[in-house]
Amino acid sequence: MKKQTIILIAGILVGALLLTQIMFTVDQTEQAIVLQLGKPVHPNALGPGLHFKLPIVQDVVYFDSRILDYDAKPEEITTEDKKYMNIDSYAKWRIANPLLFYQKVRTIPGAQARLDDIIRSQLRVSLGRYTLIEVVSHKRSEIMSNVTERTQKQLLPYGIEVVDVRIKRTDLPTENASAIFGRMKAERERQAKQYRSEGEEKSARIKAQADKERSIILAEANKEAAIIRGEGDAEATRIYAEALGQSPEFYAFKRSLDAYRKGLKDNSRFIFTPDSPFLQYFQ
């Protein structure tokens, strides 16, 4: 009984050891390739999960599947206008093809060295096509897009995909800083002057258009007021005519009251004879 137990335990241990040689897992943040005597078994990488391999003759090589960082050392670069500047750049990259990556650069340090060579050379080439003012002002985004595109093409044969390349910091040599800042200031002042001139021109056009519309509106309003006054006078004349036809004496009395109201105000003084027709209703 005791011998059978020992054999059972030994069998379990041997089976567990054999399973560890046959089975392996790939983490969510990893990808892997299987090598048999140094040669790849499958052209494609294995993703996360449980996998199997032959014991002893096959080995598993794991690679990080996440986006990785590349931080370059600052270096001095010459621009198109022969100005010197210190560029500190970085990049985001990932292992796109683990098999190619293993065959070409093997390890992360090997990939970092390849990234260092290609990104530095592309930065020097791209920045050399622009002036210093363009690099530090409005052309940086365009330059970085070009560098990213070119490095992607050159690094894909190594199984590396460059996600993005950026300039982290740009320092000007001391002897160039004052001159560059002066030119940038002059450029900004020129743009500000241009914007002010365009604004004033636009303001003048808007005011002229507003004055024109105001004149048209006032003319139409005066025209409409004149028409309304004419219609009112015509209606008043018609009413007076009807009143005159119905009662001439009352019409004369009403007109005399209107004449008194308009003429005898503001402390006005008049001299009339007692038999003046104007005062007939005061007699």
Type and span of the H or E element at 149: helix 140-155
Of the pLDDT bands very low, low, confident and very high (cuts 50, 70, 90), residue 283 is: low
Highest mean pLDDT among 28-37, 38-47, 201-210, 261-270: 201-210
Of the pLDDT bands very low, low, confident and very high (cuts 50, 70, 90), residue 22 is: confident
**Which amino acid type is present at position 79?**
T
CA distance 108 to 63: 9
Chain segment 93-121, per-residue pLDDT in tens: 999 999 999 999 989 999 999 999 999 99
What mean pLDDT comes out for the span 33-47?
Answer: 87
25-29, 181-185, 198-202: range with lowest mean pLDDT: 181-185
| Helix ranges, 247-273 (H) | 248-263
Residue 155 contacts residue 114 (beta carbons within 8 Å): yes
CA distance 212 to 233: 31
Highest mean pLDDT among 144-158, 232-246, 269-283: 144-158
3-state secondary structure of 271: coil
